[in-house]
Amino acid sequence: MIFRKNHLRTASKPMNSATSTQNQLEQLKKLTTVVADTGDFERMQAFQPQDATTNPSLILKAAQQSNYQSLVNAVKVAHPGMSTTDLVDYILVAFGLEILKIVPGRVSTEVDARLSFDTKATIAKAKHLIALYESHGIDRNRILIKLAGTWEGIAAAKELEADGIHCNMTLLFSLVQAAACGAANAKLISPFVGRITDWYKAKLGANWNDINNGGENDPGVTSVKRIFHYYKHFGIPTEIMGASFRNTSQILELAGCDLLTISPELLADLQASGASVDKKLDPINAKAALTAEGITALKLDESSFRLQLNNDAMTTEKLAEGIRNFCIDTEKLEALLAK
């Protein structure tokens, strides 16, 4: 779910932080577009969102709830004899349609993760999902098709964007992926924060220190900052939506990012806190930040993309793990529909 940024400020309010009378969520909304990530559309109504994002894991979780059994059963009854693989598409769209009754903006619907290495099949599935939405009178501009940040997924996004189908590139862990998505004119990317931190925390083991490796030094946070600076410096219009947070510290360190998608639990934590929130990301700092890291424009073709991805153990492992887990949850959803 998403809240609009308030661009109007009064002389009594500082530019980079809000007054302490506001809770952290209210302050954050003034700096960043805040998105809540859930398939539980009944829960969404309390947040009055602008947009919403889903994925196979979130839809599986929602579909197992008793209050959504009638929706799931209605889809099955409407399509007797349909394979469970095809039924999943209709379930995803059914949830998306209900979400769009609540939100005035966009909903993200994910292509089957099992197609992550098949550009042609990904494009066909994306067009099928868009056609299902359009058959219900939904404008394609209200849909973001979620694709994995593989070379094949990025190639699919390039073709889909040229056809007016907007894409949300997910399972994104590196600047290389982000640069390729920008070159493909993807509408939005979702760089993951928490999963990057999880990898480094596991790698360091007993050497991990929450003080030295947290806050502004959190590896997931620094990854999104790097992408933000790269996009802003090189004028890449693709929207950046930080995702996969483990705590509110990670969120607050990215205040100023284009969008941040946050779980309902962490949204509640932000709402319960009255501590001040400062703007941490600003395009004006982009050039200096890239210069400090020695980062220049990346020119990528398929071979250089694959080589750089291969040489980045964290990205390679987390991308593979993410696709694998989304495949598992899609198969669980199919099994649920088969009952």
Sorted by where each begins, the domain ranges of the chain are 29-338
pLDDT band of 49, cuts 50, 70, 90: low
Q: Counting beta carbons within 10 angstroms of the beta carbon of residue 207, is it exposed (0 to 12), middle (13 to 18) or buried (19 or more)?
A: exposed
pLDDT tens digits for 246-285? 999 999 999 999 999 988 889 889 989 999 999 999 999 9
Helix (H, G, I), strand (E, B) or coil at 65: coil
CATH of 29-338, one of 3.20.20.70, 3.30.450.20, 3.40.50.150, 3.30.565.10: 3.20.20.70
Query: Which of 150, 134, 152 has the alpha carbon at shortest distance from 142?
Result: 134
Over residues 158-173, mean pLDDT: 98
Q: Catalytic positions, please?
A: 146
261: enclosing H helix or E strand: strand 259-262
Kindly report the pTM of this predicted structure: 0.91
Positions of E strands within 52-166: 52-53, 107-110, 143-148
Would you say residue 163 has pLDDT above 70? yes
CA 237 to centroid of chain Cα atoms:
16
Would you say residue 34 has pLDDT above 50? yes
First to last CA, the chain: 31
Would you say residue 50 has pLDDT above 80? no
The average confidence (pLDDT) of the chain is 91
Q: How far apart are CA 225 and CA 219, in angstroms?
A: 10
Strands across the sheet containing 2-3? 2-3, 33-36, 259-262, 239-242, 188-191, 167-172, 143-148, 107-110, 52-53
